[in-house]
Structure 1
Amino acid sequence: MTVARNPVIRGFAPDPSLIRVGEWYYVATSSFEWFPTIPLHRSRDLAHWEYAGHVRGAAPGGSLRGVPDSAGIWAPSLSWDGERFWVVYTIVRSVGTRYFDLDTYVSTATAVDGEWTAPRRVVSHGFDPALFHHEGRLWLLNMQSDHRPGGRRFAGIVLTELDRSTLRPLGDTHLLLQHDRLIEGPKLLIRDGWYYLILAEGGTGVEHGVRVARSRTLTGPYELDELPLLTTRDDPKVPLQKAGHAELVRTPSGEWFLSHLTARPLHTAHGIRCTLGRETAVQAVTWDSEGWPRLRQGGWHPAVEVEVPAAGAPTSGVPDGAGPPATPETVRASSEGLPTWPWSSPRAAPDASWVDTTTRPGWIRLRGRQGPESLWDQSVLAQRITEHRAEVEVTVEARPRTFGEAAGLTLRYNTASYLSLDLTWAEPEGEPQRGQQWRGEGRTVLSLLERDGDGARQVAVVEVEPGQPITLGASIDGEEARFWYLHDGLRTPVGPPLDFTHLSDDYGPRLRFTGTLAGIHAQDLVAAEFTADFSGFRLVCGAE
């Protein structure tokens, strides 16, 4: 046996959809407003996972420009029909309103790291869809939302048959289940003549959980299990919190395992703060004498360590072209020379109009565009932070001439929560901010900015020599982030320690759904011509 240590995919990897094809397990996770869209990972033992590509083209037109923070691509569901991989997912364009303004799409591929078909829109009752392949027929599961005043935003689970060729609905939509507690994220499986609905229950925060219902017929009625399959809502001391949004998979030897999202919180004076976002975990499952799934360790709390089957040799059940890809350490640029995984960018993939890796080999050149609070065209490349202790550094070379030009190192949750240490321009010391940069006077400075729910603040300003490469860094230790730069070979602090927990799912008036990333960025708010060169980016996340 092998021991899997949860989370098995760490740092901003929520809503896992788990399937098995031959000896390989595949997981798709939500990407929200970030590219690459719908990251895919694979494993042969459920414990050790590697990046396997992403669903290219999942955002029609290649853009999510303008979508709010934590909107975009929600809860993709992966499936395999014996010949092709299928993925169904929803693009949500409104958050915090009665209307989700969403569209649900389906795409297919013969290999997860191959070409995915152009997304086709299907009936869009709500988010968290799933496909159920059964006896040659195709069914779409979804939650439905009632936007009307007095209506329930989570108004039950519905099922619609789709034509396999046209993806148009066939016949009526069936209401499978309604429940007093919020339910979403439906998945279907068949076992011993029962149809089982695996449901996310209670929302995606600390009340999250997994509930199961079953029926002898596909279209119901469905009976709810009296007990949850998985939750931590009853014990805030369980190390893996927010456990929910699950899917069951069977191993080649007949054992059952559950994928689910979870979070590792920091316990602060203000409550829990999940700076790493929601992550992917696995649990072992057995079936009780009445035919209900139960966690192998008993109860409903997730285990940190889980015994899983050791990997076997690949079999002919593995689809052509689905062998192991390059590891994340070597997947740095696409064939076009553009940064790819583990790099991510908000609302659009990197393109040659603002990213250049060829002019200066070994460096990434960014052309500055809009500011860090834009929902449209930011020049940002970032990587997921996966542990509560981390260090990041990068060398930047740039010649900012105005206060609208800046480039540097950013720790970023979203447009309303970020920390950044930027090389930029400032007025001569002692001169007030009057926007007179065109006079040709001023200083090259490092500016430390903090943005949270109270707005943006300039925490510190340090004058530096213009036109020279400078190494910037940040050290993260639980609740604190400390910024620094190299001066005469020594780390020189910039400003005081900052509250890193503002960059978390739980900061602010409502839940947020992504995670914190560390990266590089550039902006030019006037001419959009300023460029900055970066080299030696290094993100090290320490084991806990």
Structure 2
Amino acid sequence: MIRNPILPGFNADPSICRVGEDYYIATSTFEWYPGVQIHHSRDLVNWTLVRRPLERKSQLDMRGNPDSCGVWAPCLSYADGLFWLVYTDVKRYDGNFKDAHNYIVTSPTIEGNWPDPVYVNSSGFDPSLFHDEDGRKWFVNMQWNHRTESYGGAPKHPAFDGILLQQWDADTKMLKGPITNIFPGSPLGLVEAPHLFKRNGWYFLTTAEGGTGYDHAVTMARSRTIDGQYQLHPDTHLITSKGNPEAVLQRAGHGQYVETPDGDIYHTHLCSRPLSPHRRSPLGRETGLQKCVWKDDDWLYLAEGGLVPNVDVPAPTDAEPIAKPARIDYSFDGEKLPIDFQWLRTPEPDRIFSLTARPGCLRLIGRESIGSWFEQAIVARRQEHHRFRAETTLEAFAPDIYQQACGLTHYYNRHKFHALVVTLHEKLGRVVTIFSCPGDFPHGRMQFPAGSGVSIPEGPVELAMQIRDNDLQFSWRSSRTNYWETIGPVLDASVISDEGGRGEHGSFTGAFAGLFAFDTSGRTKTADFSRFSYEAIPG
């Protein structure tokens, strides 16, 4: 069986592509760098992260991009001996404008170095590329209308002004010909995320609708000609959890069709697993996969019936799930970060961290604050379990002033984080304390649940956080003791989620566990971390 979600933790907007026996899924990375996650599988059951191709300034520079902007909704396809990756770099979220720039980049391999992208247009986000049987290529994206009452956190249907179609000329690397608005969406509204495919003389269009909250859905339509008119599926939607609060997989929508070599049909979708009682999703929007069937009316349906996605889905082969280790211990003795880790926004990582300055350690270089949109030293990995423990050893950090700080963080964005902090206090000396920013409103004001903190001796110090569903507890120990000491109260971990702060449409990435350092004095104080561990807690 396929066990959903197949990509746990923040892996949104899945675009699936098959090349021979190999399957690839590309997902959104938003403001996290490098851009676009690509996972690989040969059985649809077991998936491995293999590449993030947007890794240079000439490919992607997100300094200044607001939270939940950056790389939206990549589309991965294969044609003419090349992988084609289409994506958006969104430069604004709040207010009426989006400023969404769309690009195409190609490569003969997934794992190799990808060249610089080609700019396409900026009329809207969620682009994709369809390779027709006659060799023509078609670019589709939603069109954004800024003359509405829709704004970040409160989407309204008129702003989602239909799906645009235009031909892409691969030789000139430019769009050409007329621009056609081929699909206004269903009555559910908020139409986005178009993907085209062709079968039995029909052009099928799948889109996402309803916003990426609890009314999200995969909508399907078809037409005999690529430019429409498109008629809606008999059920309007192919996949949705809308109106089914008891379903395990909520917020289901935004996905893509794929066939196996033997003709079995599957469809990806994003989803989330909210926790009660607040109905918040700290793992963000994850990737699911559903088995589908074609019926006599030439429409696609879920194989299990209905519209609600299933947790367990029949696999195309008898492949067994490969169990992942409950605990992963990361060392920093290589030339590159472990692949699970990312950082924020900047294409110049040498300015925020080094793996060679002190062999065996990750050195973070204190730059701007933990709430910056431009250059902050934070290195983190996704939260993949509702219950986990993360630990690190801080080998060296000698702050000269309270403006210099480093530590361990449960992080979502600049307004939603909890951090266990080592810094300097004028009277207590070097201390461990807590910074907490539990939501977007009213002003993203930081709180200090442990007050001035606890004095700690010089030398190495270990930091830990343990999360059980909605509860987070920080602890620490020095090299002179053998026991962990808790610090501060139990914190609300549920706000480190999509729905924390201003609600379900306010932000849509996912929670991370990681390391940070800042120096708002401008003196670039460094912090050396020798290890990091992530351990799933049963239950």
Q: Is the pair's TM-score, using the shorter chain for normalization, greater than 0.5? A: yes
Q: Is the 8 A contact 1:387 1:543 kept in 2?
A: no
Q: CA 1:223–1:96 in structure 2 vs 1: closer, same or farther (change >3 Å)?
A: same
Q: Is the 8 A contact 1:448 1:458 kept in 2?
A: yes
Letter of the 2:455 counterpart:
V
Percent identity for Structure 1 against Structure 2 = 37
Tell me what 2:323 maps to.
Answer: none
**Structure 1 stretch displaced more, 456-465 or 339-348:** 456-465
Distance 2:264 2:62 in 1: 40
Letter of the 1:475 counterpart:
Q
Once the two structures are TM-superposed, the CA of residue 22 in structure 1 deviates from its matched residue by 0.5
Partner of residue 217 from structure 1, selected from 225, 230, 242? 225
Letter of the 2:438 counterpart:
D
Distance 1:80 1:476 in 2: 41
Q: Which runs of 5+ in 1 are unaligned?
A: 313-327, 429-441
Once the two structures are TM-superposed, the CA of residue 503 in structure 1 deviates from its matched residue by 0.5
Q: CA 1:217–1:58 in structure 2 vs 1: closer, same or farther (change >3 Å)?
A: farther
**Structure 1 stretch displaced more, 504-513 or 19-28:** 504-513
Q: Is the 8 A contact 1:210 1:231 kept in 2?
A: yes
Distance 1:150 1:81 in 2: 40
Q: What secondary structure, in the 3-state scheme, does the structure 2 residue paired with 1:266 have?
A: coil
Partner of residue 233 from structure 1, selected from 234, 239, 242? 242
Distance 2:426 2:149 in 1: 55
**Structure 1 stretch displaced more, 213-222 or 481-490:** 481-490
Once the two structures are TM-superposed, the CA of residue 508 in structure 1 deviates from its matched residue by 2.1
Distance 2:128 2:332 in 1: 32
Q: Is the 8 A contact 1:408 1:423 kept in 2?
A: yes
Once the two structures are TM-superposed, the CA of residue 82 in structure 1 deviates from its matched residue by 3.8
Q: What secondary structure, in the 3-state scheme, does the structure 1 residue paired with 2:494 have?
A: helix
Distance 2:314 2:501 in 1: 38
Q: CA 1:62–1:160 in structure 2 vs 1: closer, same or farther (change >3 Å)?
A: closer
Tell me what 1:437 maps to.
Answer: none
Q: CA 1:379–1:285 in structure 2 vs 1: closer, same or farther (change >3 Å)?
A: same
Q: CA 1:166–1:542 in structure 2 vs 1: closer, same or farther (change >3 Å)?
A: farther
Q: CA 1:330–1:465 in structure 2 vs 1: closer, same or farther (change >3 Å)?
A: closer
**Structure 1 stretch displaced more, 237-246 or 442-451:** 442-451
Distance 2:82 2:330 in 1: 25
Tell me what 1:402 maps to.
Answer: 401
**Structure 1 stretch displaced more, 408-417 or 459-468:** 459-468
TM-score, reference length from structure 1: 0.90
Alignment of 1:90-489 (within 5 A): 90-134=88-132, 135-149=134-148, 152-179=158-185, 180=187, 181-227=189-235, 228-268=237-277, 271-310=278-317, 337-349=335-347, 351-396=349-394, 397-428=396-427, 442-453=428-439, 455-460=445-450, 461-487=452-478, 488-489=481-482
Tell me what 1:504 maps to.
Answer: 497
Q: What secondary structure, in the 3-state scheme, does the structure 1 residue paired with 2:46 have?
A: coil
Distance 1:482 1:333 in 2: 26
**Structure 1 stretch displaced more, 486-495 or 289-298:** 486-495
Q: Is the 8 A contact 1:443 1:463 kept in 2?
A: no
Q: CA 1:358–1:477 in structure 2 vs 1: closer, same or farther (change >3 Å)?
A: same
Once the two structures are TM-superposed, the CA of residue 149 in structure 1 deviates from its matched residue by 4.4
Distance 2:110 2:379 in 1: 24
Tell me what 2:510 maps to.
Answer: 515
Once the two structures are TM-superposed, the CA of residue 59 in structure 1 deviates from its matched residue by 6.0
TM-score, reference length from structure 2: 0.91
Q: CA 1:538–1:155 in structure 2 vs 1: closer, same or farther (change >3 Å)?
A: same
Distance 2:95 2:493 in 1: 28
Q: Is the 8 A contact 1:131 1:138 kept in 2?
A: yes
Q: Is the 8 A contact 2:397 2:528 kept in 1?
A: yes
Q: Which runs of 5+ in 2 are unaligned?
A: 151-157, 320-326
Once the two structures are TM-superposed, the CA of residue 54 in structure 1 deviates from its matched residue by 1.3
Q: CA 1:330–1:164 in structure 2 vs 1: closer, same or farther (change >3 Å)?
A: farther
Distance 1:149 1:252 in 2: 45
Tell me what 1:317 maps to.
Answer: none
Q: How many positions carry a matched residue from both structures?
A: 511
Letter of the 1:213 counterpart:
A
Once the two structures are TM-superposed, the CA of residue 310 in structure 1 deviates from its matched residue by 2.2
Tell me what 1:19 maps to.
Answer: 17
Letter of the 2:9 counterpart:
G
Q: Is the 8 A contact 1:38 1:58 kept in 2?
A: no
Once the two structures are TM-superposed, the CA of residue 511 in structure 1 deviates from its matched residue by 2.5
Q: CA 1:184–1:331 in structure 2 vs 1: closer, same or farther (change >3 Å)?
A: farther
Distance 2:56 2:86 in 1: 10
Q: Is the 8 A contact 1:338 1:352 kept in 2?
A: no
**Structure 1 stretch displaced more, 342-351 or 483-492:** 342-351
Q: CA 1:150–1:344 in structure 2 vs 1: closer, same or farther (change >3 Å)?
A: closer
Once the two structures are TM-superposed, the CA of residue 61 in structure 1 deviates from its matched residue by 5.8
**Structure 1 stretch displaced more, 530-539 or 338-347:** 338-347
Distance 1:331 1:188 in 2: 41
Distance 1:71 1:113 in 2: 25
Letter of the 1:78 counterpart:
L
Letter of the 2:460 counterpart:
P
Letter of the 2:449 counterpart:
V
Once the two structures are TM-superposed, the CA of residue 353 in structure 1 deviates from its matched residue by 2.9
Q: Is the 8 A contact 1:385 1:541 kept in 2?
A: no
* 1:54 partnered with 2:52: yes
RMSD: 2.0
> What CA deviation, in whole Å up to 9, does each residue of 1:277-319 have, x standing for no partner?
000110000012211110000001111011112279xxxxxxx
Q: Is the 8 A contact 1:374 1:415 kept in 2?
A: yes
Letter of the 1:507 counterpart:
G
